[in-house]
Every structure is written in C-alpha cells, then in structure tokens.
Amino acid sequence: MSGQERMDDTVRAWIRSGPESASAEFVERTLQPIPRMRQRRSWRITLERFTQPVVAVGGAVALVVVLVAGLGFLALRPGSVGGPPNPTASPGPSGGGLTSFEMTMSGAGPATGTYRSDPAASVNRCTHAVDGSWRYIYVSGQPPINLDLLIGSGAAASDGSSQVALELEYDPGYFRFDPSDLRGGDPPGRSTASVTVAAGPTSTTFTITAVTPDRSDGTDRDPVHVDMTVTCPN
C-alpha cells in the first residue's frame, strides 16, 4: 500500500469517527505536503473583521463544509479594467452608501493602466473598525483582481500620511507596500506611501499615492507608481 493510500484511509477513518478535534500527529501527517506548494503572496487576505465566529456543528467535519462554501463565495466573476467609471458599485456592509475604487498604475510591472470597481464583483466591502482603522477588500475577475487595503486609525492626523498598507494581486502582476508597519512593515526605503482622508456626511474618501517595487516574480523589481481613490460608506 502506498503512502498516499495510507493517508487517505486515515482521513476516511477519522471522518467516520465523528471527531470534535484532530490529534497533532494526524494534522502533521495530513498537512505535510502543503509546504511544497509555491506561494507568491506574502500577506494572507483574511476576512475575520467581516464575519462572525463560526459555530461548531458536528465538529471538525462541519468546519470543512463551511470553508468549502466560503471558497465558492469568493469565486472570481467578471470585472472591468479601463473605460469610464462605473456609475454604481456594490453597497457597503450596512447598505448606507456605495463602495468603490479607482486605481491607476504606471511604471514597471506586467500590467499597467486604470482599474475600477465593478458592481458584479464577488467581494466589494469596506468596514470601519472600533479602533478607527478602515479595511477594504475587493475580489473580481476578467481581469482577476484581489485587493486588500488597510488604513490605520491615525491616517487623518497631521503625521499619519503613511498609515496605509496595500496588497494587490492582478492578472498577471503582484505588488504590496506597507511603510507604516501595519502588517509587519517594509524594510526602510522599500516603499513610500501617503493617504489623505476626506470624511463626508454619508461616505469617506481616501486618496492614496505610493511607489513600491513590482514583485510579480517574487522578488523586488523596478518601481510601480500607484494613484488610488477609495470611497467607503460611513
């Protein structure tokens, strides 16, 4: 019997037993092949601020079902690049306004141009946390765009211009910047970024400029210039 068949039998036996948890030995054997997978992205996009804790129903097997359903929800759908700005965009978490972005990239990188939010995007959501920070996540396709933006609570202060961190995976490129140490921080001099905050009665607009290395092949290359505007409902 091969090693793969033994692992498959172990997984089947564990599921049939109706477990509430998995032993450390079982997890180690099951996840052992995963580190061999190549990962380009340095930050992992998480939705912990946008979802409630998952209630265990039927133990670990139910959690697997929830994760599979979540992946289906995040499946990429047609998006847009270029063209006139969209007149509408997906509503924010409370439905109290429109969530949208427009971003122009120039300089290095495999794909430059202007990208805009699409009302048909799988995810187009902005939230304002209790600590004063803002989080914007956008997922769409054709071309694929996976955007994760974090703006710190001190961004509106006179010395808070660098309180912004962004990770963008787009077809076929990738870059990230974090001069403010919001997600671990860039080495000194790697990236520069600034953000201004304009709060209105129903929405808040963030204007972001940044220069950061293109990282499409996993290493820092020539700089990408980013100009971006994000509007979030209050």
pLDDT one-digit tens code per residue, 180-217: 999 889 999 999 999 999 999 999 999 999 999 999 99
Judged against a pLDDT cut of 90, whether residue 103 lies above it is answered with yes
The larger pLDDT score, comparing residue 98 to residue 232, is at 232
Q: Based on the domain organization, do 159 and 69 belong to the same domain? A: no
Q: Based on the domain organization, do 177 and 106 belong to the same domain? A: yes
Please indicate, yes or no, if residue 89 is contained in any of the structural domains. no
Please indicate, yes or no, if residue 204 is contained in any of the structural domains. yes
Q: Based on the domain organization, do 219 and 105 belong to the same domain? A: yes
pTM: 0.63
Q: Based on the domain organization, do 211 and 143 belong to the same domain? A: yes
Sequence-separated (6 or more) residues with CB below 8 Å from residue 194: 161, 162, 164, 208, 209, 210
Residue among 119, 123, 118, 102 at smallest CA distance from 49: 123
Residue in the structure block whose two tokens are 């959690």: 63
Q: 28: domain range?
A: 3-73
Q: Based on the domain organization, do 43 and 118 belong to the same domain? A: no
The larger pLDDT score, comparing residue 69 to residue 208, is at 208
pLDDT band (50, 70, 90) for residue 98:
confident
- What is the domain count for the chain? 2
Please indicate, yes or no, if residue 147 is contained in any of the structural domains. yes
Q: Based on the domain organization, do 157 and 220 belong to the same domain? A: yes
Biggest CA pair distance of the chain:
67
